[in-house]
Amino acid sequence: MMNLLRAEPAYRRLLFASLLSGIGDWFNSVALLSLLLHLTGSSLSVGVALAVRTFPYLVMGPLGGILADRLHRKTILVFADFSRFFIALSLLRVNSVSQVWIAYVATAGLVVFSALFSPARTAVIPQLVHPQHLAVANALEQSLGGLVMAFGAGLGGLISACFGFDTAFAINAISFLASGFICGSINLPSSPNRGRGSFEGLEKKRQRTHSQASSRSFWFVFRQSRLIQLVSVQAILWAIGGGAVNTLLSVYGYQVFRSGNWGVGVLYGALGIGFLASGFIASRLVKRLRIITAAAYLFEGICHVAVSLSPVLWGAALFLSFATMSAGIGNAVTTTLLMREAPTVFHGRIFSLLGTISSVVISLSMLATGFLLVVVPARTIGFWAGSFMAFTSLVTGFALVMMKDTAMNPHRASIWRYA
């Protein structure tokens, strides 16, 4: 990972920008969910807020992928960051139950621009990183997510408890502003899909292959890749249980373990520690990636069952860190497989499709969980959510392991050969 950061200065800037905005975003998440529970006293408000955070992906997710493949990606990153800065400031006005609607609207607005930002950021990585560093970069992405989650959530809970919710909201807004300036300083090719990870510099035959791939529709790509199809199914099934688990974290910390803001911060911090560890492990995994992916997602579900059965906060945090470590390994390996499978010209749409699928299903699961919490104990929901994740991961993992090395039609494989 250190070799990657030394060799790729542009990617290093992107990583630092994401570190700042990510930490601020977790300050915002912990503070907002705790504020809603404080003002309303209802777990339903958490489910609604989390659902609002993901519903806009239904529209903006596909649009974000299309724009990421057709517009200059650095422009998208800067515009999204500055827009989120102004929206984040509006959360400073939420001080009573009658103003809770502002929190929901601002949350939806932040998600709209995050849906533009995320596929562009993911798609730009192969442009900034040499192909030989791609697997390590994807592993580092998981570690970055873990670092910002652990540090941002844990410190966010502490800041909210000691200095108030407004301080956390202000830090989040400033982090977006800083990230926007850093992204603006990154030296990125003026046209998309011309980085070192794409087709530039190849001989004429490969250029013709690139042109042929570019002329194909995205759905042609989807139909020809069994890997993309299978990962899409996994994204739907995982999101059903994942939405419930995400909703339960604040309820576990605030109500089940009766630890208030600190308990919420501890659990989100445990998530971050798990993702941080996953990056270091995933960067060393170079063989049998499909088997590793299947095993990682299965173990994640089992650990979520253990979280629901834990009698104490720190036990739940320990199993939660194991669950997210497994999820991070699975995510890193899956992303690497997808980047190798598909040409760069389709990366924006591929990752926005997966993000949209999971986000919409997660939002429905979160909303349903919010209503269920009114009549069903949180631990019961957590047990069945983890069991569902484990079972579906077992099924999709088996299909992934048994999948042939090339899922493409051999007569059309030349389209993909130089991706």
Would you place residue 416 in the very low, low, confident or very high pLDDT band (cuts 50, 70, 90)?
very low
Give the mean model confidence (pLDDT) for residues 154-172. 80
Banded model confidence at residue 406, pLDDT cuts 50, 70, 90 = very low
Output the CA–CA distances (angstroms, integers) from residue 333 to 41, 137, 154, 330, in the order listed. 40, 11, 27, 5
Instruction: Give the CA distances from residue 109 to residues 80, 90, 151, 219, 269, in Å, rounded to whole numbers and listed in that order.
Output: 11, 10, 24, 29, 25
Query: What band does 54 get if pLDDT is binned at 50, 70 and 90?
Result: low
| Close Cβ partners of 272 (under 8 Å, ≥ 6 residues apart) | 26, 145, 146, 147, 148, 149, 150, 151, 152, 153, 154, 324
pLDDT over 80 at 270, yes or no: yes
pLDDT score of 346 more than 90: no
| pLDDT at residue number 178 | 93
Q: How far apart are CA 27 and CA 369, in angstroms?
A: 23
- 52, 23, 61: which is closest to 156 by C-alpha? 23
pLDDT given at position 404: 67
Task: Look over the chain and give the mean of its residue pLDDT values, rounded to a whole number.
Answer: 79
> pLDDT by residue (tens digit) across 57-72?
777 877 888 888 888 8
Alpha-helix residue ranges (DSSP H) falling in 90-164: 100-128, 134-163
Cβ distance 239 to 365 under 8 Å?
A: yes
Residue 415 pLDDT > 70: no
78 falls in which pLDDT band (50, 70, 90)?
Answer: very high
Count, residues in the chain? 419
Residue 283 vs residue 209, higher pLDDT: 283
- Residue 187, Ramachandran bin (φ over 0: left; ψ between -120 and 50: alpha; else beta): beta
DSSP state of 197: T
Instruction: Please give the structure tokens belonging to residue 121.
Output: 């950021």
CATH number of 1-185: 1.20.1250.20
Whole-number percent of the chain with pLDDT over 90? 17
Whole-number Å distance between alpha carbons of 297 and 242: 11
Q: Which residue has the higher pLDDT, 174 or 355?
A: 174
- Summarize the confidence of residues 196-217 as an average pLDDT: 43
With a cut of 70, say whether residue 40 has pLDDT above it: yes
Q: What pLDDT shows up at residue 174? A: 92
Residue 67 Cα distances to 58, 232, 272, 355, 385, angstroms = 15, 21, 30, 15, 35
Residue 77 has what pLDDT? 92
Q: What dihedral angle (degrees, nearest 10) is formed by the CA atoms of 128, 130, 134, 137?
A: -50
The stretch 292-307 carries a mean pLDDT of 92
- Name 140's Cβ contacts closer than 8 Å, sequence gap at least 6: 1, 4, 15, 279, 283
pLDDT for res 286: 65
Poorest-pLDDT segment among 104-113, 183-192, 196-205, 283-292: 196-205
The closest of 4, 113, 111, 1 to 52, measured between CA atoms, is 111
- Of 184, 132, 140, 120, nearest in space to 344 by CA: 120
- For residue 348, name the pLDDT band (cuts at 50, 70, 90): confident
CB 112 within 8 A of CB 55: no
Domain ranges of the chain: 1-185, 218-406
Question: Taking the model in full, what pTM does it have?
Answer: 0.65
Q: Span 370-379, mean pLDDT?
A: 88
Assess contact for 224 and 123: CB atoms under 8 A.
Answer: no
- Mean pLDDT is lowest, of 95-104, 118-127, 216-225, 403-412, for 403-412
* Multiple choice CATH, 218-406, 1.20.1250.20, 3.10.129.10, 3.40.605.10, 1.20.1730.10: 1.20.1250.20
pLDDT in tens, 83-135: 999 998 988 888 888 888 888 888 888 888 888 888 888 888 888 888 777 77
Q: Do domains 1-185 and 218-406 have the same CATH topology?
A: yes
**Predicted pLDDT at 382:** 93
- Answer for the pair 79, 117: CB distance below 8 angstroms, yes or no: no
